[in-house]
Structure 1
Amino acid sequence: MANIKSAIKRVRTNDKKRSLNLAKKSDMRTAIKQVEKYVEANDVENAKTALNATIKKIDKVVQKGIIHKNNGERHKTRLIKKVNNLGA
């Protein structure tokens, strides 16, 4: 454990940030699973609406720097392909 006052504060700050980032990342993953669930059920309308919300969440997580830009793009591309193949 840190002994210096500023280091102790930095540890607390990092813990808060880590827990917030973890929550946002978890929310993103849940949204992705929701879209995949609709794709499995062949529910085109709900899949498209859920896809739009999920893309917003992925973009927000990328913007905050929680995941890398390429990682976010990869998730979005895979989901879009799944939903487009569902409608075809």
Structure 2
Amino acid sequence: MANIKSSKKRVLKAEQNRQHNIKYRSMLRTFIKKVNNAIFEKNIELSKKMFRKMQSIIDKQAQKNLIHKNKASRYKSRIYSKITKII
């Protein structure tokens, strides 16, 4: 660990930020898996409902720079195209 007081603070803050990002990234991946499972089961109503919820979460995380905005768009478009195929 660093010797300078401000460096010690930065190390601690960086770890806090890392833990925070892990939590939200995990939540994002969980919702994507839930939507994919609903699509796999061909449950149209559940998949649409979960997609709307997932879309909101993806947009919030892209806005906070947890994921890149293009990656967010890619996630949404791929899952939406899967939903339209089962309809």
The runs of 5 or more residues in structure 2 that have no matched partner are none
TM-score, reference length from structure 2:
0.97
TM-score, reference length from structure 1:
0.96
For 1:52 and 1:45, the matched residues in 2 are separated by 11
AA in 2 matched with 1:34: K
| Moved segments of 4+, more than 3 Å | none
- 1:84: Cα distance to partner? 1.1
Provide the residue aligned with 1:12 in structure 2: 12
Give aligned-pair identity as a percent. Answer: 37
For 1:57 and 1:86, the matched residues in 2 are separated by 23
The runs of 5 or more residues in structure 1 that have no matched partner are none
Query: Over the residues paired in the alignment, what is the CA RMSD in angstroms?
Result: 0.6
Aligned residues: 87
The answer on 1:30 being equivalent to 2:30 is yes
> Which aligned pairs between 1:66-77 and structure 2 lie closer than 5 A?
66-77=66-77
